[in-house]
C-alpha cells in the first residue's frame, strides 16, 4: 500500500506552498492553482499528523484536504478556524478492497458536515452532488476529489484534477 500524496484547497492570499512546508507538509512544489474568490489549490506528497490543523490556524481560513492512497482512495477532511469540520471517504468500493473500515466513514454525517462547513464559509453547496461524490466510484480518486470541490461550491473549481 502506497501513498500518492494529496491536495489542499484553502482561501488564502499568501504563498500557500511556503506555508504548507512550514506547517509540516512535504513534497510541496511551487505550483498553486488559483480559483475565484481567493481560493488556492496546492498538492503535497505527505502531511504530518498536525499539518492540516496548523495550516488552518495559521491562515485563519477554511480549508479542505484530500489525501490519496495509491490514487484509489481519498480521505477528505475540512476545517474552519472556528472548528467546523467534517471528514469523508472517496471511492468506497476501492476502500473496501483495501479493507478500510467503511463504518468509520459514515455517509450521512459526512454529507451533513460538508453542507454545514460549506455554508459556514459562504459557499453554495449541492447536497445531491456531495452525496454522489461520497458514494461514487471512479478509476482515480482524484476525479472524485475534483467533483467534491465542485459539489462544495468552490468558485472556479476545476472539473477534473
User: Which pLDDT tens digit goes with each residue over 95-138?
Assistant: 999 999 999 999 999 999 999 999 999 999 999 999 999 999 99
Reported confidence tier of residue 49, pLDDT bands at 50, 70, 90: confident
| Structure confidence at residue 158 (pLDDT) | 67
Give the rounded percent of residues in the chain with a pLDDT score beyond 70.
Answer: 96
| Structure confidence at residue 1 (pLDDT) | 45
Mean pLDDT, residues 85-102: 96
Q: What are phi and psi of 46, to 5 degrees?
A: -155, 150
**3-state DSSP assignment of residue 8:** strand
Instruction: Judge whether residue 2 has pLDDT over 80.
Output: no
| Structure confidence at residue 28 (pLDDT) | 95
> Distance between CA 18 and CA 72 in Å, rounded?
28
Strand partners, 160: none
Are 82 and 62 in contact, with CB atoms under 8 Å apart?
Answer: no
Please give the helix or strand (H or E) that residue 142 lies within, else none. helix 141-152
Are 32 and 16 in contact, with CB atoms under 8 Å apart?
Answer: yes
Amino acid at each position: 500500500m502506497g501513498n500518492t500524496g494529496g491536495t489542499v484547497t484553502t482561501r488564502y492570499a499568501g504563498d500557500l506552498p511556503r506555508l504548507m512546508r512550514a506547517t509540516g507538509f512535504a513534497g510541496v512544489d511551487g505550483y498553486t492553482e488559483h480559483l475565484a474568490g481567493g481560493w488556492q489549490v496546492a498538492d503535497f506528497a505527505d502531511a504530518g499528523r498536525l499539518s492540516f490543523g496548523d495550516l488552518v490556524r495559521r491562515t485563519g481560513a477554511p480549508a479542505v484536504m484530500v489525501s490519496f492512497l495509491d490514487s484509489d482512495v481519498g480521505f477528505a477532511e475540512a476545517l474552519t478556524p472556528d472548528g467546523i469540520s467534517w471528514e469523508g471517504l472517496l471511492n468506497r468500493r476501492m476502500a473496501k478492497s483495501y479493507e478500510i473500515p467503511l463504518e468509520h466513514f459514515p455517509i450521512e454525517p459526512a454529507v451533513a458536515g460538508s453542507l454545514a462547513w460549506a455554508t459556514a464559509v459562504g459557499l453554495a453547496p449541492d447536497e445531491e452532488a456531495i452525496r454522489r461524490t461520497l458514494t461514487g466510484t471512479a478509476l482515480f480518486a482524484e476525479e472524485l476529489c475534483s467533483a467534491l470541490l465542485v459539489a462544495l461550491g468552490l468558485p472556479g473549481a476545476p472539473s477534473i484534477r
